[in-house]
């Protein structure tokens, strides 16, 4: 008896896409040239592989789709393909290829202006995307706003949604985090109608990041969980490890080091390190920041919080002077600061015993009550004949501010941002 050959998953997917391309309803929206129909099939197949995080096959099919496009009728389709390729090359840190397609996007934008009878919402959206590639965030902001207004006029709800998400991302890039959340609130209302799962998953990921930047770590965690749930329901795996990374960063900032390391480990073990090189580097940076389980005190000056291993998170947002004393001492363990030093460095005054003696004593006492675990006397701040010092035997770690932001990000885009 002959063995029955079971077709591969890729073969079945390819057949499904080609069948769709031959469907009469689909053909109604396409030119009849067979090569362009094939191009549409390759594009849809590439998008499937992109969502599944198989960037090698996605790149292959995007390039085959690109080879079957024609200008001027396929201009906006070409923009989309360029966008996907730029994201793939940015993630794999292939700067040469990414910059090539950024340049082609810019040239295509100029060609599109000449071919269009009037500038529509899609044109302004792509113009803003090109601005973003170049780091021109203020100009991108103007064009995304214009795209949103035009999409409203042209009754293009999906483009309205993409524009709102892009405006939120743009605000995030310019560190206007409250504006980011305002745009996402608008987007959330629209997506309750449109039911775009991938975009909504991206929205919750960005929402979590914005809340984290505002210092609201606990509120960021449910946003990451929502992102993960939505992406899994849509079988989209390309952002899976980015959600794990960002949730881990929030946990790290809360001082939950073991939980953060668990998430970093899950992300690291399940990524394709050939194509997700940027993500791999980001994860390694975070692991290096928290991999010492013996940390006693984790200090985040930017967000004015610390984490003590027995007490948990301690908020210093309304205790500015105490925080400054702690950081002064903790930055140079074993170095003693006398009353004259503290008066000058903390209060910017010349030492006056009538003023500063009680002020210093009271401030140090309040600080100790905040950070010293019960039952352990003077673990962190010690007093000697030369003044006060931070215990050099304590393992303290300082949060590396903006370290992830400094990591190379070609074209200023993320995998999570829709094309």
Digit-coded pLDDT (tens) for 55-77: 999 999 999 999 999 888 899 99
pLDDT attached to residue 404: 44
Inside any domain, residue 146: no
What is d(CA 83, CA 323) in angstroms, rounded to the nearest whole number? 45
Q: What is the CATH number of the domain that holds 76?
A: 1.25.40.10
pLDDT greater at residue 275 or residue 18: 275
Structural domain boundaries, residue 310: 297-394
State which of 89, 116, 143 marks the end of a domain: 116
Inside any domain, residue 153: no
pLDDT attached to residue 417: 82
CA distances from 40 to 35, 46, 158, 199 (A): 9, 10, 20, 22
pLDDT attached to residue 24: 44
Inside any domain, residue 96: yes
- pLDDT category at 405 given cuts 50, 70, 90 is very low
- pLDDT category at 400 given cuts 50, 70, 90 is low
pLDDT digits (tens, 9 = 90+) for 267-325: 999 988 889 999 999 999 888 877 665 678 888 887 788 888 788 788 898 899 999 99
Q: Exposed, middle or buried, 316 (CB in 10 Å: 0-12/13-18/19+)?
A: buried
Inside any domain, residue 149: no
pLDDT attached to residue 292: 60
Inside any domain, residue 382: yes
pLDDT attached to residue 366: 93
Order across the sheet with 297-300: list the strands: 312-315, 305-308, 297-300, 396-398
What is the percentage of the chain residues whose pLDDT exceeds 70? 88
pLDDT attached to residue 15: 52
pLDDT attached to residue 3: 47
Q: Looking at the chain, how many residues does it have?
A: 419
Give me the number of domains the chain comprises.
Answer: 2
pLDDT greater at residue 19 or residue 270: 270
Inside any domain, residue 165: no
> For 174-276, where are the alpha helices, taking DSSP H only?
177-194, 197-213, 217-233, 240-253, 257-270
Give the SS3 label for residue 224: helix
Query: Closest Cα partner for 376 from 310, 305, 331, 299?
Result: 310
pLDDT digits (tens, 9 = 90+) for 170-180: 999 999 999 99
Inside any domain, residue 180: no
Inside any domain, residue 410: no
Q: How many CA atoms lie within 13 A of 223 on its CB side?
A: 25
CB 289 within 8 A of CB 403: yes
Does residue 389 surpass a pLDDT of 90?
yes
What is the overall mean pLDDT for the chain?
87
State which of 116, 132, 160 marks the end of a domain: 116
Query: Mean pLDDT, to the nearest integer, of 223-249?
Result: 94
Q: What is the CATH number of the domain that holds 343?
A: 1.10.10.10
State which of 57, 83, 116 marks the end of a domain: 116
- The lowest-confidence range among 153-157, 270-274, 355-359, 397-401 is 397-401
């Amino acid at each position: 008896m002959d063995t029955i050959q079971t077709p591969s998953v890729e073969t079945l997917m390819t057949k499904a896409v080609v069948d769709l391309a031959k469907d009469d309803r689909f053909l109604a929206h396409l030119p009849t040239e067979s090569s362009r129909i094939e191009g549409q099939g390759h594009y849809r197949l590439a998008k499937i592989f992109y969502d599944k995080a198989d960037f090698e096959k996605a790149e292959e099919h995007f390039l085959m789709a690109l080879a079957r496009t024609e200008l001027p009728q396929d201009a906006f389709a070409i923009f989309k393909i360029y966008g996907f390729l730029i994201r793939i090359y940015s993630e794999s840190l292939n700067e040469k290829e990414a910059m090539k397609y950024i340049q082609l996007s810019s040239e295509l934008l100029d060609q599109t202006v000449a071919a269009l009878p009037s500038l529509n919402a899609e044109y302004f959206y792509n113009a803003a995307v090109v601005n973003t590639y170049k780091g021109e965030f203020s100009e991108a902001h103007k064009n995304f706003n214009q795209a949103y207004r035009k999409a409203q006029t042209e009754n293009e709800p999906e483009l309205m949604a993409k524009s709102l998400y892009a405006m939120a991302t743009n605000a995030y890039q310019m560190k206007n985090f409250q504006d980011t959340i305002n745009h996402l609130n608008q987007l959330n209302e629209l997506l309750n109608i449109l039911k775009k799962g991938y975009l909504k998953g991206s929205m919750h990921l960005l929402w979590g990041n914005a809340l984290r930047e505002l210092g609201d770590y606990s509120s960021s965690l449910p946003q990451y969980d929502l992102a993960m749930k939505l992406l899994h329901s849509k079988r989209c795996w390309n952002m899976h490890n980015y959600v794990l990374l960002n949730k881990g960063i929030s946990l790290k900032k809360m001082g939950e080091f073991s939980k953060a390391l668990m998430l970093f480990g899950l992300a690291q073990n399940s990524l394709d390190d050939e194509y997700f090189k940027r993500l791999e580097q980001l994860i390694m940076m975070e692991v290096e920041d928290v991999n010492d389980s013996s940390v006693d005190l984790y200090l985040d000056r930017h967000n004015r919080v610390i984490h003590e291993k027995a007490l948990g998170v301690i908020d210093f947002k309304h205790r500015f002077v105490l925080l400054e004393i702690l950081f002064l001492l903790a930055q140079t363990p074993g170095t003693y600061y006398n009353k004259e030093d503290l008066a000058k460095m903390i209060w910017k005054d010349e030492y006056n015993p009538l003023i500063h003696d009680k002020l210093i004593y009271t401030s140090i006492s309040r600080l100790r009550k905040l950070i010293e675990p019960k039952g352990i006397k003077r673990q962190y701040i010690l007093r000697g004949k030369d003044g006060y010092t931070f215990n050099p035997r304590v393992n303290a770690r300082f949060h590396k501010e903006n370290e992830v932001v400094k990591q190379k990000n070609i074209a200023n885009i993320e995998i999570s941002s829709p094309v």
